[in-house]
């Protein structure tokens, strides 16, 4: 990887950081060009060439992702959620949301797949997901620590990928892996701790700005989830409330991980594949 390409990555990473920090604001292409330190005539072509989507597509995807989380996790009016996502009317928001998530916002909130798991755990014990018991090797991650809503950890992933690419050490076989230290049902959202990382060799020399995290080897319960990230918390509830007690396993002394098997830039939310990996006592 050339030094010039690494420079582009560093510049575009600043743009990604700005977008995540100002998701409610209107985009100003001149400002973004200044942040990228690139010509206003060409910088967006570079962004699209590197990331495979336009700036507008990035913002639309991130806002809809946030909106899906708000529909699932809050009782806020749909009109307010639509406005925060940048839509001038509920009708326009509904059309785009349905096109992306397969159902209208109101239907998604009340009848989406996540509602299948709203029964008390004691009454819902049948297998709702595929779970595999897997002996996993230790996993070393190079990444960025995040504090705050788990629904906003994508900013940290963007930073981790950008730093890895800018250093010339990114390889296609690196797996994006998130580590989630706190239970969001008992820890305030602003205090939630997570780690957004990519798998690296055990002896890797990490680029400046990346931290190291080592996930222990051992027996894991691996739950495969297909669908929007906004629905993952329901899978956790079912796992801890139904599967774990019924199967008689005990969790190990390490936090759960999520391994992301595909890319939200490339597939629809319904097709996203995530492995939730929970360590078990051997």
pTM of the predicted structure, to 2 decimals: 0.67
Q: SS3 sequence, 198-235?
A: EECCCCCCCCCCCEEEEECCEEEEEEEEECCHHHHHHH
Give the residue-averaged pLDDT of 12-27: 87
Domains of the chain in sequence order: 3-111 (1.10.10.60), 130-279 (3.20.80.10)
More confident residue, 116 or 242: 242
List pLDDT tens digits, range 96-106: 999 888 899 99
Does residue 279 contact residue 253 with C-beta atoms inside 8 Å? yes
> Scanning the structure block, which residue is given the tokens 């894991």?
220
More confident residue, 275 or 249: 275
170: which 2 tokens?
């990114």
pLDDT at 115: 44
pLDDT over 90 percentage in the chain = 50
pLDDT score of 125: 46
Question: Is residue 143 very low, low, confident or very high in pLDDT (cuts 50, 70, 90)?
Answer: very high
Return the DSSP state at 89: S
């Amino acid at each position: 990887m050339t030094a010039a390409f690494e420079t582009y990555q560093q510049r575009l990473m600043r743009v990604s950081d700005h977008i995540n920090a100002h998701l409610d604001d209107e985009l100003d292409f001149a400002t973004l060009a200044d942040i990228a330190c690139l010509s206003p005539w060409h910088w967006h072509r570079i962004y699209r060439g590197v990331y495979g989507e336009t700036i507008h597509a990035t913002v639309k995807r991130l806002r809809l992702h946030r909106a899906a989380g708000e529909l699932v996790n809050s009782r806020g009016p749909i009109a307010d959620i639509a406005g925060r996502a940048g839509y001038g009317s509920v009708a326009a928001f509904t059309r785009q949301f349905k096109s992306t998530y397969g159902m209208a916002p109101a239907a998604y909130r009340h009848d989406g797949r996540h509602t299948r798991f709203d029964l008390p755990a004691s009454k819902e014990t049948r297998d709702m997901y595929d779970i595999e018991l897997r002996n996993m090797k230790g996993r070393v991650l190079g990444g960025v620590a995040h504090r705050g809503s788990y629904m906003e950890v994508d900013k940290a992933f963007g930073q981790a990928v950008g730093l890895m690419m800018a250093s010339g050490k990114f390889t296609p076989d690196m797996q994006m892996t998130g580590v989630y230290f706190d239970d969001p049902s008992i820890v305030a959202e602003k205090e939630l701790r997570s780690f957004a990382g990519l798998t690296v060799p055990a002896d890797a020399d990490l680029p400046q700005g990346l931290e190291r995290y080592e996930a222990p080897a051992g027996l894991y319960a691996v739950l495969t989830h297909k669908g929007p990230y906004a629905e993952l918390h329901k899978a956790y509830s079912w796992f801890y409330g139904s599967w774990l007690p019924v199967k008689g396993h005990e969790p190990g002394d390490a936090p759960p991980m999520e391994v992301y098997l595909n890319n939200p830039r490339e597939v629809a939310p319904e097709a996203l594949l995530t492995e939730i990996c929970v360590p078990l006592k051997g």
